[in-house]
């Protein structure tokens, strides 16, 4: 609710601020829905289809203390977090230079464009057999799946950041005596940072979404692996717990990125 | 001190769908060091193209350009540039923006600080050094742009409608600042503008440019810039001599605009 005297608020972005009260309401609404579908002795969804709230809560503590198949929830989470972060770091390290190359050179853009556009839509799951053949059944194939998930996003974000630089800024820098390297370092890179940050946030989301596929085989640890194994034994309580933990970590990481963004690139959107 | 000169400059843009635009045709002039030249004309007369050629951002398709006898082949720090807006680096604060040129030249931190402090005073921004660019008004941002360009001590300052985005009152104040900088530094300035009044007030020399093809239609040597700081600018702009020139230029440019409109209607 706004107490301004504006007569036009619909379509005014400054009137659309975050509203913690509504955040709480929306989470409460979800919980209410969960309670409703499990209400009574003959609930809408039975326990084989969807676990109850109480049951999930107990499962969560059981997973924390005793674990599932002798691996605690904490160990599953740490394994997944490590893989996601490694994948994101490698994806960013590869993606930014490729995106920059595509934004800076006609030739390289011509070379990389078809590669990026052809490979980007391939779902990671389809690549799993090949990745296992190439990188083995161990960690490498899993991390590489997550690199795959994030690298295209990072390439496109970095390219957009480079192409978004205003010509007059580059011209001004040349007239002030900057050489090509300095233009890259002091003009193009800082100008691209907001887009790169957005890319990292999107890539994080995609990476968590790819986790189950990445941890499908060859590991006993990781939230994705836990969910997959539990689903084969119809342990829906564990599946839902895993899903909630993944969602929760995703939200925390996005909040952390937003915090970093406000600190590191306060100029975003103010050029 | 270096003179600026253009001889027989031609600029033809090839259009992607075939055909071409003759942005400049056989433009020649010499500008003595230390003069303030204003370029005035209707849209499409090639004044910004001319400025970009002087800056070295564009290479002409014919003819030659030089500064102090040295041909201009690309951008260089002997020619500073001030744009209309949006050319400051918003990821740097005011002081860092001003120090950009000296930093690119690997000047020491202490000498950069001295340059910044001096220039903040020159453009009237004392105490604003650590402000973010987006915290400043449009007029203050243009002050930063002027200071940033002066930091490298260029021979020539090229200005592409530097005051075009400012409100009328701020614009008048900034015009006086441009005159003050010109007088104090003695630098050659070439300024592109859409405003007849601004071109007259600031131009020690004024080129009226005409379109299709872009060319210099008429050259004026004017007395107003010389005295602009000593008298009240509003009074000067209300003087009969100023008004007479203003009307003369206005009717000349309106004539050109009408010709363009007629041309376009004929074409359709």
Nearest CB among A178, A179, A190 relative to B91 is that of A190
- What are the angstrom distances between the C-alpha of A178 and each of A31, A173, B128, B159? 58, 6, 25, 19
- Count contacts between A and B (CB, < 8 Å): 75
A271 to chain B: which residues are within 8 Å by CB?
86, 90, 134
pLDDT band at B147 (very low <50, low <70, confident <90, very high): very high
Alpha carbon A175 to chain centroid, angstroms? 40
Q: Give the HSE-up count for residue B216: Cα atoms under 13 Å, Cβ half-sphere.
A: 20
Select from B57, B59, B89 the residue whose CB has the most chain A CBs within 10 Å, as the one to mutate to test that interface.
B89
Contact A175 B79 (CB under 8 A): yes
- Cβ burial of B29 (10 Å; 0-12, 13-18, 19+) is middle
Q: Does A192 touch chain B (CB under 8 A)?
A: no
Q: Is the pLDDT of residue B267 over 60?
A: no
User: What ipTM was estimated for this complex?
Assistant: 0.92
Q: What share of chain B is helix, strand, coil (3-state, %, to 5)?
A: 40, 25, 35
- What residue of A is the nearest CA neighbor of B78? A175
- Position A9 scores a pLDDT of 83
- What are the angstrom distances between the C-alpha of B199 and each of A18, A110, B18, B38? 49, 45, 36, 5
Select from A177, A192, A262 the residue whose CB has the most chain B CBs within 10 Å, as the one to mutate to test that interface.
A177
Sequential pLDDT tens for chain A (271 residues) = 456 688 888 888 888 887 889 999 999 999 999 999 988 888 888 888 899 999 999 999 999 999 888 899 999 999 999 999 999 999 999 999 999 999 999 999 999 999 999 999 998 888 989 999 999 988 899 999 999 999 999 999 999 999 999 999 999 999 999 999 999 999 999 999 999 999 999 999 999 988 888 888 888 899 999 999 999 999 999 999 999 999 999 899 989 999 999 999 999 877 6
CA angle B146, B147, B151 (to 5 degrees): 120
CA distance A197 to A91: 13
Q: What is the pLDDT of residues B177-203, one digit of tens each?
A: 999 999 999 999 999 999 999 999 999
Contact B104 A173 (CB under 8 A): yes
Contact B89 A193 (CB under 8 A): no
CA distance B24 to A111: 37
- What residue of A is the nearest CA neighbor of B151? A176
CA distance A179 to A161: 20
- What are the angstrom distances between the C-alpha of B214 and each of B130, B156, B206? 43, 23, 16
A174 to chain B: which residues are within 8 Å by CB?
57, 74-75
**What pTM was computed for the model?**
0.87
Contact A175 B55 (CB under 8 A): yes
Contact A182 B89 (CB under 8 A): no
B100 to chain A: which residues are within 8 Å by CB?
173, 176, 178, 186
Interface subset of A 205-224, CB within 8 angstroms of B = none
Nearest CB among B75, B84, B89 relative to A171 is that of B75
Nearest CB among A174, A187, A265 relative to B89 is that of A187
**Could you give the domains of chain B?**
4-78+155-261 (3.40.50.300), 86-153 (no CATH)
B112 and B152 in contact (C-beta within 8 Å)? no
Count of CB atoms within 10 A of residue A187's CB? 21
């Amino acid at each position: 609710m706004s107490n301004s005297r504006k007569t036009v608020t619909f379509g005014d972005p400054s009137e659309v601020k975050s509203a913690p009260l509504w955040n709480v309401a929306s989470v409460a609404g979800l919980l209410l829905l969960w309670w409703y579908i499990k209400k009574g002795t003959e609930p809408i969804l039975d326990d084989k289809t969807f676990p109850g709230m109480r049951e999930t809560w107990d499962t969560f503590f059981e997973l924390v203390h005793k674990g599932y198949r002798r691996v605690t929830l904490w160990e599953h989470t740490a394994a997944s977090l490590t893989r996601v972060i490694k994948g994101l770091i490698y994806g960013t390290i590869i993606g930014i230079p490729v995106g920059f190359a595509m934004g800076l050179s006609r030739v390289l853009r011509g070379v990389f464009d078809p590669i990026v556009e052809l490979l980007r839509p391939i779902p990671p799951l389809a690549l799993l057999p090949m990745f296992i053949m190439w990188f083995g059944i161990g960690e490498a194939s899993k991390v590489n799946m997550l690199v795959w998930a994030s690298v295209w996003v990072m390439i496109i974000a970095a390219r957009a950041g480079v192409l978004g630089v205003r010509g007059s800024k580059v011209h001004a820098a040349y007239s002030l005596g900057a050489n090509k390297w300095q233009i890259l370092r002091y003009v193009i890179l800082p100008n691209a940072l907001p887009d790169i940050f957005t890319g990292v946030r999107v890539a994080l989301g995609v990476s968590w979404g790819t986790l189950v596929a990445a941890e499908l085989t060859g590991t006993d640890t990781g939230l994705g692996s836990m969910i997959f194994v539990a689903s084969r034994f119809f342990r829906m309580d564990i599946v839902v717990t895993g899903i909630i933990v993944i969602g929760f970590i995703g939200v925390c990481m996005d909040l952390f990125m937003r915090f970093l963004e406000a600190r590191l690139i306060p100029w975003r959107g103010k050029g | 001190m270096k003179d600026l000169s253009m001889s027989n400059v031609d600029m033809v843009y090839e259009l992607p769908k075939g055909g071409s635009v003759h942005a400049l045709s056989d433009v020649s002039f010499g500008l003595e060091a230390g003069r303030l030249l204003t370029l005035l004309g209707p849209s499409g007369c090639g004044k910004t193209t001319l400025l970009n050629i002087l800056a070295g951002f564009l290479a002409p398709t014919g003819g030659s350009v030089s500064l102090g006898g040295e041909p201009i082949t690309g951008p260089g720090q002997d020619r500073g540039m001030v744009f209309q807006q949006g050319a400051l680096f918003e990821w740097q604060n005011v002081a860092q923006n001003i120090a950009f040129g000296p930093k690119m030249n690997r000047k020491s931190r202490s000498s950069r600080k001295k340059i910044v402090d001096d220039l903040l005073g020159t453009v009237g921004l004392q105490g604003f050094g650590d402000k973010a660019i987006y915290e400043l008004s449009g007029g203050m941002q243009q002050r930063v742009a002027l200071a940033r360009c002066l930091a490298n001590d260029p021979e020539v300052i090229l200005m592409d409608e530097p005051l075009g985005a400012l409100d009328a009152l701020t614009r008048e104040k900034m015009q006086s600042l441009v005159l003050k900088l010109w007088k104090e530094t003695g630098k050659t300035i070439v300024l592109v503008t859409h405003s007849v009044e601004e071109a007259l007030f600031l131009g020690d020399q004024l080129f009226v440019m005409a379109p299709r093809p872009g060319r210099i239609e008429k050259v004026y040597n004017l007395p107003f810039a010389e005295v602009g700081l000593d008298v009240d600018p509003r009074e000067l702009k209300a003087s009969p001599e100023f008004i007479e020139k203003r009307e003369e230029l206005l009717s000349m440019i309106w004539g050109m605009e009408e010709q363009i409109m007629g041309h376009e209607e004929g074409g359709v």
